[in-house]
Structure 1
Amino acid sequence: MSRLRLVRVAFATVAVVLVLALVATVVAAVVVVRRPLPEVSGELTIPGLDAEVTVSRDPRGVPTITATTPEDLFRAQGYVTAQDRFFEMDYRRHVTAGRLSELVGENADALAADKVIRTFGWRKVAEREWEIVDESTREALQAYADGVNAYLATRDPSQIAVEYAVLGLRLHTPAPREWDPVDSLAWLKALAWDLRGNYDRELARARTFASVQDVARVEQLFPDYPQDLNTPILSAAQVGTQVTPTAATHDLDLADADLQRALDSAQQALDAVPHLVGDGEGIGSNSWVVAGEHTESGAPLLANDPHLGISAPGIWAQVGLRCAEVSDACPFDVTGFANAGMPGVVIGHNADLAWGLTNLGADVTDFFLEKVDGDVSVRDDGTAPIRERRETISVNGASSVEITVRETVHGPIVSDVLDVDTVADAPVPEGAPGRQLEVALAWTALQPGHTADALLAMATAKDADDVAAVAALLEVPAQNIVFATTDGHIGYQAPGRIPLRADVQGGPVPSDGSWPRPGWDSAFDWRGYVEPEQMPRALDPAEGFVVAANQAVTPSGVGPMLTTDWDYGYRAERIRTQLEELLATGEPIGVDDMATLQSDQHNPYADVLVPTLLSLTIGDSFDDDGQELLRSWDRVSSADSAAAAYFAAVWKTILRLAFDDELPDDASPTGDSRWLEVVRRLVDDPSSPWWDDRSTPAVVEGRDEILTRAMVSARRQLTTQLGRDVEDWRWGMLHVAAPEHPVLGGESLPGVVRRLVNPSPLSVGGGSAIVDATAWDASSLTYEVTAAPSMRMVVDLGDLDSSTWVNLTGTSGHPASVHYTDQFEAWATGETFPWPFTRAATEADATDHLTLVPEG
């Protein structure tokens, strides 16, 4: 996962000061790091409460909050979340407001992030959102903010989080600002950004064309979804008719140097945005639900594990929210995974319904190429004004920075945000009346929406109709919803604000959103959005289960056009196959079976490549040792597998040898499911030009030469890294999960600080496009995990107290807390913990009790 390098370099100059301050004596160190730990028992007075609120915590520190009114419930949730995770919340709101430099000081990466996010205007959109959300949502957001502020009111920064004490050694760290309800809404923009659709591939296509110079060859690197191999979520019979926009014609010069420089500038700007929940093709999720006729309890089972970036603390805060008496006036009795800074629960279950979310991957962004002439852009036969606004970025300890943000009719211009090679003096395209080309971003999340309403409504949903109503509000990020009810129903629902695009004919590339669009031609403007009632859904399918793991939602040409760029479905198909095998035995499925499937490590890359790799001859007895490992490999990428380590090195080398010579310098193959599908098709075409290594001009390589060279190279690479004896190799030696603190994670910090805030790396199995989706980036220098199951849950709708869950690291954001990493090892080994829900069960499991009482 891309991580922002912020405080890390700056702290190199104060390393000695930190050591003196934090470890001069053991006592001083303990005081500094333990001072922010929350009170979890006894009684505390909280302003604004109407009645007492109880907070019980389980052995892993997970709170269950019980109150008599929704306002008290969310006020207490705000207070308790601030107790556990306020620095995380504060960091996130600085990012989403474009105020990161204000927190961390003078730093080039922080300033670049601020510039781009101010250009997007996330905070301004959130302010508009505050005006349109439901009154009950505003009340919940305000109560949550009041609870956060009640916690902050009596504490100086060092009592709130150890991070403020560390930052205070080089910067002035004033008391954090009060929490504003809009801070919560702005967080939803960051969530939507990391979970948006295909913008990476859209830019990648256009930028790859600059080096390949052939649209057809570029499209070979972005193949169609393999529907003959991997099943979509729904069948054609379960979906309505295709939504077909209007048609027009267009022209676009993809080879234009000005266009390519604009795209490169846009890419650099977008790369500067911090990824708060993850980045790259490893971001996705598994979810599935099985009907009660096939389960041990006789009621449905639901499983979900969202694949997001790994960080310390992890992304999710576990919590239970309960009204003392559930009624229309106070309807909440829900438990699950929340985001610190947002009231409610994002994924979980209540007494009637469980739900899971996976990234739909809908195409909700487009890049519009704009012909700009001063303060106008070209539009058909005329022009349209470009709006401008000034933004001032405060920098802690340094002078403020001013920027000018420009917006076309399509959205903010992103190609001129950073101080990079500009396009101002580039050649003007033939026939273009403007001086230069720029790139504007159109994104559905830059319009105010009702996602906050949806998240709170989901907590009280009871049936499929309620889920459909939630889906109509859940505009961004678009997420597949799988659900099950205690009365026996299972289902699927697709939500989201999905643009309608015209089918524009006659140009060099498709107009379906997979390539950048000519902004000077109004034929390319969005034509509205897919109506909620046209979004795909299913209830109680005949096969008895639903699998939603980022694969295509519907068969090609059926239902609304959501995107052309899906995950390629290898995880989903493995889950489907395993469920079919379980059902075929006739034995009822239990919670343990679901958890076992979540940790499945079968490697689909091996299915594609190993037969061909074993058919080749390696003459040297040393070089073929790795190949010999593959002959007896079960194709499972477990942490203790030597063959899995070798195969990963082979795969990485294949991608480098076959593709790096023709791709842009920063566009090396990452090795995700798209590249698996590319190579799967090329394996059957051994003379494809892609196999030829252009760096050896005197030789034209084919498939067999490249694969053989990759095996020999991998053997030698791992000999250097892991030793001469292949039997001593282990995948877990290379493939480690190493969550890092977003600010204090760098090598420039003293070891004592790094060890405090960054959990020790753990060896893990799995990999990209594997059900146990511990993704890694084949274009990087290591095999470290970049994205992974951020949590795992299995809900038994027949006995909610038999459900299980686990978080990536722990529920606390305080490095000194035992709950900062107390779930990490269990997570790494595929274990889970009991997840009690009923009042009796949560009380029996509680180890700490805190009472929050009103003033007076």
Structure 2
Amino acid sequence: MLAVVATVTFTVVTARRPLPDHAATEQVPGLSGEVTVQRDAQGVPHVYASTAEDLFAAQGFLHAQDRFFEMDYRRHVTSGRLAELVGDVPAAIDADKVIRTFGWRDVAEEEWNLISPESRSYLQAYAQGVNAYLADRAPEDLAVEYTVLGVTVDVADPDPWDPVDSLAWLKAMAWDLRGNYDDELARAKAYSTLEDVELVDELFPAYAAAGNTPILAEEDLRATDADTVARTSTELPWGTEALDAAIESATAALDSVPVLVGRGEASGSNSWVVSGDLTASGEPLLANDPHLSLGAPGIWSQVSLHCEQVDDSCPFDVSGFSFAGFPGVIIGHNGDLAWGLTNLGADVTDFFVERVRNDTWLRDADAEEWVDMESRTETIRVNGGDPVELPVRSTEHGPVVSDVLDVGAVVGSPTEDGTEFGEYAVSLAWTALEPGRTADAVFALGVASDAADVTEAAALFDVPAQNIVFATTDGHIGYQAPGRVPVRRDVDGPVPSDGTWPRPGWDPRFDWTGYVDPADMPRALDPEEGFIVAANQAVLPDGVGPELGKDWDHGFRSERIRTLLTEQISAGRQFTVEDMNEIMLDDWSPFAAALVPVLLEMEIDDPYDAAGQELLAGWDYRTDADSAAAAYFNAVWRNLLSATFWDDLPADALPSGGSRWLVVVRDMLERPDDPFWDDRSTLNVLETRDELLTRALVTARHDLTVELSKDPGDWSWGALHELSLEHPVLGGPDVPGVVRDYVNPGAVEMAGGSSIVNATGWDASTGSFAVQTGPSMRMVVDLADLDASTWVTVTGTSGHPASPHYDDQLSAWAAGETFAWPFSREAVAESAEDTATLVP
């Protein structure tokens, strides 16, 4: 009874206390005039103001009103101050150490002086609006999270919002969407057990091995000559205890950074645009659904920002998806142009293996040039604990990341006596550690009207590197690749120098030589086939255009989208908004298409063991939530990966099961004697391909008997493949159940899977089928009638768990449904359910 009373008190009193009034008149000091805010049934604010500064001040006020704790959490993470917020939590202190080593906040402060005066005025206005909401409100009036944290730590009034807090958020975006960072380290870790570069290369096939289509065709760009440096081999000490320890230490440190946007192979996105020649309306259609980490609240904050009179002094008339903590719209449309973003996947990071002696590093081995490292000391304040002093060291390549955490000494040395070349360390070169003008690009995209405007904005979009697809109301469709991408020499060495492996820091020939000229970045306008698909696949065929990277998503999502588009075109059926939404929900599995024909050839004598295999006969490869065949097949896939590769790879480099692993296994099916089929753990026994395939089939049947039911007819993919959204601070197992259950929405069953168009990603290396990433939102923009566009986000517009808009879109999102997206003044007024007024 007491527990019930406590729950009711927490819910009714504590949790509801921070809820704002969406129909009130509020004073916002600094406004130059009155601002009107109309909210629709989903609580989406549509803001009308007379100046751009008033628009962004209002957006800051509304973000603080609905999502301030999310903003405060993000700025503590991005400035390396998380322990100040949550207390003496080891994971928070480790995250602070790594982010302080990167210096995200320092780079953001440099960017403040680099961006345009207009952008600075917008960021200042936004901060002014945030601070107007914070004024005279205690922490418990801002968010229930402060009340809960106050049980264990001291909760002070939040610091005023600073414009640089917004810029620092861009570093988190860039970090989570950074390209081939994971693959580069994974190659080095795989070598530690395989000790064979050719075997490692087999696990990292080139994009062309998938046989799928790049975003643009070869005729769109001319080939460029590689910058080649002929030289003798520059040896790296692959497989030595010293280097393995340095790589392990660097990996542990970088894995300590909280996931704020999305990470891993399953964090991709779909986008495509179709010409008006192929649509029922006669104007283009654009679809986008970024696949990111999913949590509560969702990452996106929907908003519309309208100048009362759109002109040069107030140019914004834009609607879409924003980040709480940053002004403007990241993805969406204005009155002339719609744009979608997917992660480009360009290689913007490199790990340098350094030879370090005390506080010097070897700059040039041939010249025996040792130079001083840059050093500083950071002080990490811990709420309720002692401060932590953190020494930070950097080389010219970037910060040294292998000695940030105490995960084991970096042992050994390149010489027998341990003195001549000291120890190994690992530094990180990353384009986002140089100040850039991405903030300018966000505002420029918001007012872009044609391809030339998009190109100009893209030249400012330094990090993270993204694919931009766009369409205009006057009938054009296009593609533009932005981003700061390093140029690397082709150096003859023990491993490729193209950015796919760590490189020797003591050889200057491996240093970056500059960046790809923005004018050379790939772009296209109105291609002949009438559509563009950008879903993280390679941008161009190998050897064409600038070298952007090697480690792409292998294109099974993009190829499936292309197939669905071309089939409908061949059938002579014109595209509608409904067709675009239907394609986003496609759950056909390329994994099943590649493996099931071979799996059905395996002979299983026991009828009980064969009951699962029988489900695969006649299966259409759809992975809907009710499918028993999908449940069984994915269990087979999980078990096949573990049986085939877990004996060969270190524990932190096990197969996740994404698109790369599909190419690896598909190609291995043609090589029954491939060494990976053999299980190293069984001495004096040489396993064959068919033995492992049969083992995976049988163990999957037994696993699902335990996990679901003895009767295969009771199996369903959704019962295994659930999404359980978690609050980043209060949603974990260490939080009292009454709070955890309140802030975490209920689990939902999902269709789809990794590298499927409906990309609800799961990680096979964990043994679980739980959804880890997915479409963080879905949108379709109809350039013929912007009011006919649709959108949905994974949770809702509010960050307050007590708000009806905290997770009111979740069930619709999970079912593949969307909502009307009003844009015109008339449509907004018709949909409005609450109206608030902000006054000076």
The bucket for the TM-score relative to the shorter chain is over 0.9
Gaps of 5+ in 2: none
Residue 363 of structure 1 corresponds to which residue in structure 2?
347
The residue type equivalent to 2:704 in the other structure is L
- Aligned partners of 1:461 and 1:467 also within 8 Å: yes
What does the per-residue CA deviation read over 1:686-731, in whole Å, with 9 as the maximum and x for residues that have no partner?
A: 1111111111113211110000000000000000010100011000
Q: 1:217 aligns with which of 193, 199, 206?
A: 199
Query: Which of 157, 175, 178 is equivalent to 2:139?
Result: 157
Give the Cα separation in 1 of the matches to 2:331 and 2:260.
Answer: 18
In structure 2, the residue matched to 1:787 is 773
Deviation at 1:255, TM superposition (A): 2.4
Q: Indicate the residue corresponding to 1:283 in structure 2.
A: 267
Q: CA deviation at 1:228?
A: 6.7
Amino acid at match of 2:410: V
Change beyond 3 A, Cα 1:154–1:432: same
Q: Cα offset for 1:429?
A: 7.1
Q: Pick which of 249-258 and 207-216 moved more.
A: 249-258
- The counterpart of 1:194, out of the listed 176, 180, 203, is 176
Aligned match for 1:43, one of 5, 11, 25: 25
Task: Give the Cα–Cα distance (whole angstroms) in 2 for the partners of residues 26 and 448 of structure 1.
Answer: 49
The residue type paired with residue 321 of structure 2 is: F
Indicate whether 1:396 and 2:380 are aligned: no
Q: How does 1:747-786 map to 2 (within 5 A)?
A: 747-786=733-772
- What SS does the aligned partner of 2:772 have? strand
State whether residues 240 and 534 of structure 1, in contact with CA within 8 Å, keep that contact through their aligned partners in structure 2. Answer: no
SS in 1 for 2:612: helix
Residue 426 (structure 1) shift:
4.8
Contact 2:210 2:554 in 1 (8 A): no
How far does residue 247 in structure 1 lie from its aligned partner after superposition? Answer: 1.4
CA distance in structure 2 between the aligned counterparts of 1:231 and 1:374, rounded to whole angstroms = 50
Q: Sort the Cα spacing of 1:432 and 1:643 in 2 relative to 1 into closer, same or farther, 3 A.
A: farther
Selected match of 1:253 from 237, 242, 255: 237
Moved more, 428-437 or 623-632: 428-437
Provide, for residues 245-283 of structure 1, a one-character-per-residue CA deviation record: whole Å limited to 9, x for no partner: 241432222122211111111011011111101221111
Q: 1 CA distance for matches of 2:581 and 2:268?
A: 18
Give yes or no for contact 1:258–1:428 (8 Å, CA) kept in 2: no
1:703 is aligned, of 677, 683, 689, to 689
2:772 and 2:475 map into 1 onto residues whose CA distance is 37
What letter matches 1:532 in structure 2? Answer: P
The equivalent of 2:541 in structure 1 is: 555
Q: Indicate conservation of the 8 Å contact 2:7/2:738, yes or no.
A: no
- Does 1:141 find its partner at 2:141? no
Code of the residue aligned with 1:372 in structure 2: it is V
Residue 469 of structure 1, CA deviation: 0.4
Give the distance between the partners of 1:324 and 1:428, measured in 2 at CA.
Answer: 71
1:466 aligns with 2:453: yes
Matches within 5 A, 1:283-682: 283-380=267-364, 381=367, 382-424=369-411, 426=413, 428=415, 433-505=420-492, 507-682=493-668
Partner SS, residue 113 of structure 2: helix
Q: Kindly indicate whether the alpha-carbon contact (under 8 Å) linking 1:23 and 1:29 is maintained by their aligned counterparts in 2.
A: no
1:77 aligns with 2:59: yes
For 2:251 and 2:199, the matched residues in 1 are separated by: 22
Q: What is the SS of the residue equivalent to 2:381? A: strand
Letter in 2 for 1:70: A
Alpha-carbon offset, residue 813 of structure 1: 0.4
Displacement, 1:432? 8.2
Residue 848 of structure 1 corresponds to which residue in structure 2? 834
SS of the aligned residue for 1:776 comes to coil
**Conservation of the 8 A alpha-carbon contact between 1:225 and 1:566:** yes
**Structure 1 residues 752, 28: CA separation in 2 closer, same or farther (over 3 Å shift)?**
closer
Whether the aligned pair in 2 keeps the contact of 1:243 and 1:559 (CA below 8 Å) is: no
Letter aligned with residue 604 of structure 1: P
CA displacement, residues 292-331 of structure 1 (integer Å, 9 cap, x when unaligned): 0110111000000000001000000000000011011000
Deviation at 1:122, TM superposition (A): 0.3
Alignment of 1:81-92 (within 5 A): 81-92=63-74
Matching of residues 76-115 of structure 1 within 5 Å: 76-115=58-97
AA aligned opposite 2:832: A
TM-score normalised to structure 2 length: 0.98
The CA distance in 1 between the partners of 2:459 and 2:397, in whole Å, is: 24
Match of residue 714, structure 1, among 695, 700, 715: 700
1:8-27 matched pairs, under 5 angstroms: 23-24=5-6, 26-27=8-9
TM-score by length of 1: 0.96
Post-superposition CA distance 1:125-178 (Å, at most 9, x none): 000011110000000011000100000012100000000000011111001111
Displacement of 1:75: 0.4
Aligned to 1:4: none
- Give the partner amino acid of 2:379: T
Task: Encode CA deviations 1:577-633: one digit per residue, 9 max, x unaligned.
Answer: 100011111121100000000000000000110000001100001000000000021
Q: Deviations over 1:665-694 (max 9, x none)?
A: 222111011101100110111111111111
Q: Would the alpha carbon gap of residues 766 and 154 (structure 1) be closer, same or farther in structure 2, given more than 3 Å must change?
A: same
- Hey, what does 1:123 align to over in structure 2? 105
What SS does structure 1 have at the residue aligned with 2:387?
strand
Partner of 1:12: none
Equivalent-residue separation in structure 1 for 2:477 and 2:10 (angstroms): 55
Residue 747 of structure 1 deviates from its aligned partner by: 2.2
1:229 matched to 2:211? The reply is yes
Report the 3-state secondary structure (helix = DSSP H, G, I; strand = E; otherwise coil) of the residue aligned with 2:441: helix
Which of 786, 801, 806 is the aligned partner of 1:800?
786
Distance in 1, matches of 2:214 and 2:50, equals 44
Question: Take 2:404 and 2:622, find their aligned partners in 1: how far apart are those partners?
Answer: 46
Q: CA deviation at 1:204?
A: 0.5
Aligned to 1:178: 160
How far does the alpha carbon of each residue in 1:472-517 deviate from its partner, in whole angstroms, 9 at most, with x for none? Answer: 0001000000000000000000011000001001x21100000001
Seen in structure 2, the aligned counterparts of structure 1 residues 429 and 81 have a Cα distance that, compared at 3 Å, is farther
Cα distance in 1, alignment partners of residues 607 and 60 from structure 2? 64
Amino acid of the structure 2 residue aligned with 1:178: P
Quote how far apart the aligned CAs of 1:756 are.
Answer: 1.1
Matched position secondary structure for 1:782: coil
Decide whether the 8 Å contact of 1:257 with 1:427 is kept in 2. Answer: no
Task: Return structure 1 stretches of 4+ with deviation > 6 angstroms.
Answer: 429-432
Does 1:827 find its partner at 2:813? yes
Q: Secondary structure at the match of 2:663?
A: helix
1:312–1:741 Cα contact (<8 Å) kept: yes
Quickly say closer, same or farther: Cα 1:575–1:429, change in 2 above 3 A: farther
Instruction: Give yes or no for contact 1:800–1:837 (8 Å, CA) kept in 2.
Output: yes
CA–CA distance in 1 between the matches of 2:573 and 2:509? 56
CA contact (8 A) 1:424 1:435 kept: no
SS of match in other structure, 1:779? helix
Q: Distance in 2 between matches of 1:577 and 1:588?
A: 15
Distance 1:432-1:356 versus aligned 2 partners, 3 A rule: farther
Deviation at 1:363, TM superposition (A): 0.3
Rounded Cα–Cα distance in structure 2 between residues aligned with 1:29 and 1:301: 43
Aligned to 1:7: none
For structure 1, the residue ranges without an aligned partner over 5 or more in a row are 1-15
Q: Deviations over 1:733-762 (max 9, x none)?
A: 000111100011122333221121000000
Contact map agreement 1:371 1:432 (CA 8 A) in 2: no
CA shift in 2, pair 1:588/1:360, >3 Å: same
Aligned pair in 2 of structure 1 residues 833, 377: CA closer, same or farther (>3 Å)? same
Change (3 A) 1:836 1:129: same
- Equivalent-residue separation in structure 2 for 1:831 and 1:808 (angstroms): 11
For the Cα contact (< 8 Å) 1:768–1:775, is it kept in 2?
Answer: yes
User: How high is the sequence identity, in percent, across the aligned residues?
Assistant: 60
Residue of structure 1 equivalent to 2:732: 746
